[in-house]
Amino acid sequence: GLNFIDLMVRQGNIDNPPKTPLVPGFECSGIVEALGDNVKGFEIGDRVMAFVNYSAWAEVVCTPVEFVYKIPDDMSFSEAAAFPMNFVTAYMMLFEVANLREGMSVLVHSAGGGVGQAVAQLCSTIPNVTVFGTASSFKHEAIKESVTHLFDRNADYVQEVKRISTDGVDIVLDCLCGENTGKGLSLLKPLGTYILYGSSNMVTGETKSFFSFAKSWWQVEKVNPIKLYEENKVIAGFSLLNLLFKQNRGGLIKGVMDKLLNLYNNKKIKPVVDSLWALEEVKEAMQRIHDRGNIGKLILDVEKAPTPLVS
């Protein structure tokens, strides 16, 4: 699976970037080739998907058993590689952090991306949830059925949301950061929850510009704790990778995966795969994410041959 965090790793826009050379990637699907001595519950030949602390973009991947899950019979390998990061992130934010319930409203940025589509699908499993989404205008036709109200990512979405819902929304999911932090907080209803789960605005052009990076951080709203308590607002952060690999919450994530696979088996959710790419095409695949051209998830497929360039 190819994620926006992979672009941030490539540009060094993360805390403690690993030393090169490294193999990127945090999730994959495949077939079990070998087991540790005390591993139970899996056999050689099982179809599985897994979280990996780097090195997912490889022909052979090694990861602790607690991060590995069996793939349902009718799920393809490409769907399985698109499943763990996006759906666990969306589920944890909506249900564990923000306590989504019937009749609530949610604003999600990058509604056409992998997490955005997972959020929209999970919201549809709860009655009467209103989803406000922002996305590039060329994606609107493809994703308009998945969200209730769709806005252009460059439009003044704050005014658009307030026009439809004067007192704002219950949950804001922000993967952009920068000036959107203040906008998101301003849209929260009393007892509403704002969750920052990424900072894609920090990813710059082909080269990393310190000035554009600094400008994005400078635009982040300075949060006043007194104001939070006066306005009854909740501000939260969420990092699935830190939860898994630094805070040892693999058991919690396993419970979430069980619920998600149950939803998949009951045909309530289904990962959206944008496109498959050969390993040699990773540069072009990353550019597609960078340009926000994808609807759903990009997948690197080690068995795929590069597509010949058309003159």
> Are 156 and 219 in the same domain?
yes
> Are 230 and 261 in the same domain?
no
> Are 238 and 252 in the same domain?
no
> What number is the average pLDDT over the span 13-19?
78
Q: How high is the pLDDT of residue 188?
A: 96
Q: How high is the pLDDT of residue 185?
A: 92
Burial of 277 (0-12, 13-18, 19+ CB in 10 A): buried
Domain range enclosing 21: 4-83+246-300
Looking at 199, 220, 242, which one is the last position of a domain? 242
Looking at 200, 221, 242, which one is the last position of a domain? 242
112 with 293: CB under 8 angstroms?
A: no
Is the residue at 154 inside a domain?
yes
Please write the tens of the pLDDT for every residue from 99-131. 999 999 999 999 998 999 999 999 999 999 999
The Cα–Cα gap between 194 and 171 comes to 6
- pTM for the complete prediction? 0.92
The Cα–Cα gap between 273 and 82 comes to 7
- CATH number where 289 lies: 3.90.180.10
Is the residue at 288 inside a domain?
yes
Is the residue at 157 inside a domain?
yes
Is the residue at 309 inside a domain?
no
Is the residue at 306 inside a domain?
no
> What number is the average pLDDT over the span 204-218?
54
> Between β-strands 47-51 and 68-70, what pairing exists: parallel, antiparallel or unpaired?
antiparallel
Vertex 45 angle, CA 44 and 51, to 5°: 85
Number of domains in the chain: 2
66 with 250: CB under 8 angstroms?
A: yes
Residue % of the chain over a pLDDT of 90: 74
Is the residue at 89 inside a domain?
no
> Are 78 and 142 in the same domain?
no
Residue with tokens 């104001």: 227
> Are 252 and 133 in the same domain?
no
> What number is the average pLDDT over the span 170-187?
89
> Are 125 and 224 in the same domain?
yes
pLDDT tops 50 at residue 206: no
